[in-house]
Structure 1
């Protein structure tokens, strides 16, 4: 049954993107890989994820259109969430979870305000195969993967919808500097309200379509990126969390009332290549989590 549902979701995504491609031109692609191995070096909690975006539209002139649906973004991503110890989660530690998501989003500009909104379908549990993938990857490098007991206690198979909206406004701070306060609402696998800001010093983001990674809040480029140079980015946000399927209350878990993130990174843009490395501090997410964690994010783009 789950296999038939997965096949239907994939077929629907292919049909939707094929229809989009017929009406619009392909504008760009972006991705961001996040892992705590390139952060604090530990294998725990929000341990690894990848976010990808493919964008279609009726041309790109460096600014967002004013009509919903003119820009269509197809998102695909995956994430592994783990307890502190992959061998034994221990009492009170969060359960293992694997999640994969597919979604369609759109971006518009209304005056000085930009709006990004859309919906995803999230597959959660062992049906994603992410526990098998992590075990294979750990075996490959010779370190222990998730134990049988950790895998047995993971979040069960389920499908969750996710709706997302973000509203922000760029403020010019003078030569090279921009500040972007934003608010975000999410409902579905995790339900929360978030407020924060992004700061950029340099050309990154100017004339680009940027997409926000849901784990770290780091933004990556999906369209644009022709001006060589180095840019520094930073940001922070705080969220009021109402519910999370990854921390089920019926299993005794309690989410922290507020969830914080602080991030920084460097973007380098060359003539034909671009690179990014960033660090994000993620605050505690559940009662019993002893401390926050530091994760690293990377992306690389090479044009031939």
Structure 2
């Protein structure tokens, strides 16, 4: 809690000094769903993130001042057992999670730094189970059994701090290697290390945001230049406490995870861009039969 309070105090203290120079720089959005990957409605079933990024005029890299660039982020996620009813519906607790947060992005000594705080609400209070049931009724997909609903993670709000440090190493004129370290404390505690390779001229001067479930990079601020780019990445995490695996349910979380991902970015011009990525997630709990493959989409139209 002291870490979270310190980050909040730092952002609030820094923001007024640069607020008069701030403008809307871009919008980050990404939809992730297992339907776009292995077509299985299970585990890390779906998520959506949306951000508004504000700051001084973008110069191809974040400024050095803490709080100069602010990202206002909202996010939702559904985590489900392997089946929504019947056999396999009790392998892990159902989770509906909704969060809102404030993050800042800056550059220091060649490193790109992101840090911020989210309030993550979980449980029936999010009404995500109702939304999923409603949608599944429309498309004639399986609905959630009463047993799964009764045993979902309970209503709680978790203040959660998240920080990442990455360093872009130019491998060529249009290719960069971006090793990173990411730390989170709150709804899930973990330390993660990994790297991404970004390829393409359009990939070198954007502000990159990281999707929570997959680690896919998607643009929060992007240039208007048309082109195609690629991102390939992998990471490894050591996981501590996780609210997504309550002791009362009985499922034990794996204390190590890894992810492998690849994606392609298309940009047709100012305000029109597309992204599709695919990610493999390793097993998250003891007894999980296999990993899973998720697909991520971004369709950006600004007129």
TM-score w.r.t. structure 1 length? 0.91
* SS of residue matched to 2:138: helix
What is the aligned partner in structure 2 of residue 199 from structure 1?
A: 197
**For the residues of structure 2 that align with 1:109 and 1:226, how far apart are their CA atoms?**
22
What are the Cα deviations for residues 200-235 of structure 1, in whole angstroms up to 9, with x where unaligned? 111243221111011100011111231211111110
**For the residues of structure 2 that align with 1:89 and 1:163, how far apart are their CA atoms?**
37
Q: Contact 2:203–2:229 (CA<8 Å) still a contact in 1?
A: no
Q: Contact 2:89–2:148 (CA<8 Å) still a contact in 1?
A: no
Q: C-alpha root-mean-square deviation of aligned residues, in Å?
A: 1.8
What is the aligned partner in structure 1 of residue 6 from structure 2?
A: none
**For the residues of structure 2 that align with 1:39 and 1:264, how far apart are their CA atoms?**
12
Aligned pairs for 1:254-293 (under 5 A) are 254-272=252-270, 273-293=272-292
**For the residues of structure 2 that align with 1:112 and 1:20, how far apart are their CA atoms?**
22
Aligned pairs for 1:173-192 (under 5 A) are 173-192=171-190
**For the residues of structure 1 that align with 2:126 and 2:176, how far apart are their CA atoms?**
39
What is the aligned partner in structure 1 of residue 97 from structure 2?
A: 99
Question: Across the two proteins, how many residue pairs are aligned to each other?
Answer: 288
Task: Please report how far the alpha carbon of residue 108 of structure 1 lies from its aligned counterpart in structure 2 after TM superposition.
Answer: 0.8
Q: Cα distance 1:130–1:91, how it changes in 2: closer, same or farther (>3 A)?
A: closer
What is the aligned partner in structure 2 of residue 296 from structure 1?
A: 295
What is the aligned partner in structure 1 of residue 8 from structure 2?
A: none
What is the aligned partner in structure 2 of residue 85 from structure 1?
A: 83
Query: Which stretches in structure 2 are left out of the alignment for 5+ residues?
Result: 1-14
Q: Cα distance 1:95–1:269, how it changes in 2: closer, same or farther (>3 A)?
A: same
Task: Please report how far the alpha carbon of residue 250 of structure 1 lies from its aligned counterpart in structure 2 after TM superposition.
Answer: 3.8
Q: Cα distance 1:89–1:241, how it changes in 2: closer, same or farther (>3 A)?
A: farther
Task: Please report how far the alpha carbon of residue 184 of structure 1 lies from its aligned counterpart in structure 2 after TM superposition.
Answer: 0.5
Aligned pairs for 1:56-75 (under 5 A) are 56-75=54-73
Query: Which stretches in structure 1 are left out of the alignment for 5+ residues?
Result: 1-16
Q: Contact 1:89–1:95 (CA<8 Å) still a contact in 2?
A: no
Task: Please report how far the alpha carbon of residue 40 of structure 1 lies from its aligned counterpart in structure 2 after TM superposition.
Answer: 0.1
**For the residues of structure 1 that align with 2:268 and 2:45, how far apart are their CA atoms?**
30
**For the residues of structure 2 that align with 1:80 and 1:150, how far apart are their CA atoms?**
13
Task: Please report how far the alpha carbon of residue 90 of structure 1 lies from its aligned counterpart in structure 2 after TM superposition.
Answer: 4.1
Task: Please report how far the alpha carbon of residue 302 of structure 1 lies from its aligned counterpart in structure 2 after TM superposition.
Answer: 1.6
* SS of residue matched to 1:167: strand
Q: Contact 1:211–1:222 (CA<8 Å) still a contact in 2?
A: yes
What is the aligned partner in structure 2 of residue 248 from structure 1?
A: 246
Aligned pairs for 1:126-275 (under 5 A) are 126-272=124-270, 273-275=272-274
Q: Cα distance 1:89–1:98, how it changes in 2: closer, same or farther (>3 A)?
A: farther
